[in-house]
Amino acid sequence: MPSSNPKSSDKSFVYREFGNDNAATERPVPELPPQQQNLKVQASRKGRKGKTVTVISGFQAKPETLADLVKQLKSQCGTGGTIKDNEIEIQGEHKQKIVDILTKLGYKAKISGG
């Protein structure tokens, strides 16, 4: 039976004591300099309908830093890419090229997997 109160239909909880509960669950990401980050670069096809993407993981950086880095990698590889779950995905198989670019930028990067 639908409720007559329009506000009760947006959320499923009954009582909330302190305003915005999302702020308490978000943790600040520590920003480490590139020399202290150990990155793994690997090619993956899982869940992508056979398309290969190069996944770079292990970042400990702010989203703004990742956005600048993904923009630079996309332009140097000549392909598309995105950021998902604090990992960068670049379309195609560019493992060695990305490792070279990241080491020039000061990151510790190595190829992971086969």
Q: In a structure prediction context, what are the per-residue pLDDT tens digits for the chain, which is 114 residues long? A: 555 555 545 556 676 666 655 555 555 657 888 888 899 999 999 888 889 999 999 999 899 999 999 999 999 999 999 999 999 999 999 999 999 999 999 999 999 986
| Domains observed in the chain | 31-111 (3.30.780.10)
pTM assigned to the model: 0.72
Q: Are 99 and 111 in contact (CB under 8 A)?
A: yes
Q: What is the pLDDT of residue 94?
A: 96
